[in-house]
Amino acid sequence: MMKHIALNAKESLTETHFERWVELWEATIDRFYEGEIALKAKERGQLMKTVMLVKMNQINNR
């Protein structure tokens, strides 16, 4: 989390940044994996995006 906070201090991380991360995450999963575990990994990526957006918004609104 500290790396994201430091980066956010230089340039605000936005939903666009995290959407791109999810695209790359899911493309990598699709390339190498399939099945239930792959689906769970994609769900985890979406959850991580949401959590990171909430945290970055909290930091930016201080």
Q: Which residues contact 49 (CB under 8 A, 6 or more apart)?
A: 18, 19, 21, 22
pLDDT tens for each residue of 5-46? 899 899 889 999 999 999 999 999 999 999 999 999 999 999
DSSP string covering 18-34: HHHHHHHHHHHHHHH--
Residue 62 has pLDDT above 90, yes or no: no
Please tell me the predicted confidence (pLDDT) of residue 1. 86
Please tell me the predicted confidence (pLDDT) of residue 60. 86
Query: Is residue 13 exposed (0-12), middle (13-18) or buried (19+ Cβ within 10 Å)?
Result: buried
CA distances from 34 to 2, 9, 44, 55 (A): 32, 37, 15, 30
